[in-house]
Amino acid sequence: MPTSLYPLLDTLQLFYDTKACLLICTQESCKFALSNGPSQVVAHLRDKHNIPTEARKGLHRLLKSLFPKLLDPNKALLPADGSARHDKLQVYEGFACLNCPFRTISIQLMRRHQSSPPEGCSSGVSHTRSLRRRDLDQQFECVYLQTWTTGSTRKYWIIKRGGSIVRQVDSPAVQAHLRGVLTREFSRQEPNPDTMTTTAPAPSAGMTAFALQTPWLDQTGWDRTYSNKGQREVLAALLFYS
């Protein structure tokens, strides 16, 4: 049943997903399913979006009359992996373990998961030897995720984009970011009259390929810590062995 049958929901930027039996707040700062309790929905609009009482008039009664009845979004069924994007929900850049259903939008949580895989995850990471970060990174894929809810207990499913469920990280935006980092490093070096130039050196293919595997230099701050000319070899070694 299309939301247009409920003009009040349209006015309040609410979407009634009759297939999932969920009510979604479509405002840009939200884009997630709200509680199935009418009072909680009213409180969300009042407290989060400052919707006045007059504009919310009749909403409580309308929500109680919806059929099928609204479900608790924390217990709602998740769409299958590879589903098309739900255009009313937020899209997240995330990560999916290749050996179990674990998904997250945090690279730190994914690496922690790979370093100490829980029971039921066959990542095959040995606890008797340390692995380099690049080895851990081979145990998961970059994907696009969606979820019904917010908070630490939310569950994700993988959506398909461009005919693939794998998120391509070797994009012009990523390359531009890498060049920006390298340019900042180059500009910090002490000027040398014999080698001075107005442009930064292009990153090598090896450096680019490695850098795209991790959220690396900018997050670690190594480009600032090892900014002196005499410390470039140290930085290169850290990048290789991290």
Question: Which of 161, 234, 177 is closest to 211 using CA atoms?
Answer: 177
Q: What angle do CA 80, 90, 153 make, to 5 degrees?
A: 70
Q: Which amino acid is at 132?
A: R
How far is C-alpha 158 from the chain's CA centre?
Answer: 11
Name the residue with tokens 């939301």: 3
Low-confidence ranges of the chain (pLDDT < 50): 1-3, 126-128, 195-216, 218-220, 229, 234, 240-242
Put simply, whether the predicted model's pTM sits higher than 0.85 gets the answer: no
CA 204 – CA 175 distance, rounded (Å): 12
Q: How many CB atoms lie within 10 A of CB 181?
A: 16
Question: For position 138, what pLDDT does the model report?
Answer: 81
Question: For position 180, what pLDDT does the model report?
Answer: 64
Three-state SS for 69?
Answer: coil
Domain ranges of the chain: 7-65, 78-186
Q: How many CB atoms lie within 10 A of CB 41?
A: 22
pLDDT, one tens digit per residue, over 39-84 is 999 999 999 999 999 999 999 999 999 999 999 999 999 999 999 9
CA R_g for the chain: 24
Question: For position 209, what pLDDT does the model report?
Answer: 38
CA dihedral 76, 82, 87, 89 (to 10 degrees): 40
CA 177 – CA 175 distance, rounded (Å): 5
Name the residue with tokens 């899209």: 91
- CB 23 within 8 Å of CB 12: no
Q: CA-CA distances (angstroms) from residue 74 to 30, 109, 150?
A: 16, 21, 9
Question: Which of 103, 106, 105 is closest to 91 using CA atoms?
Answer: 105
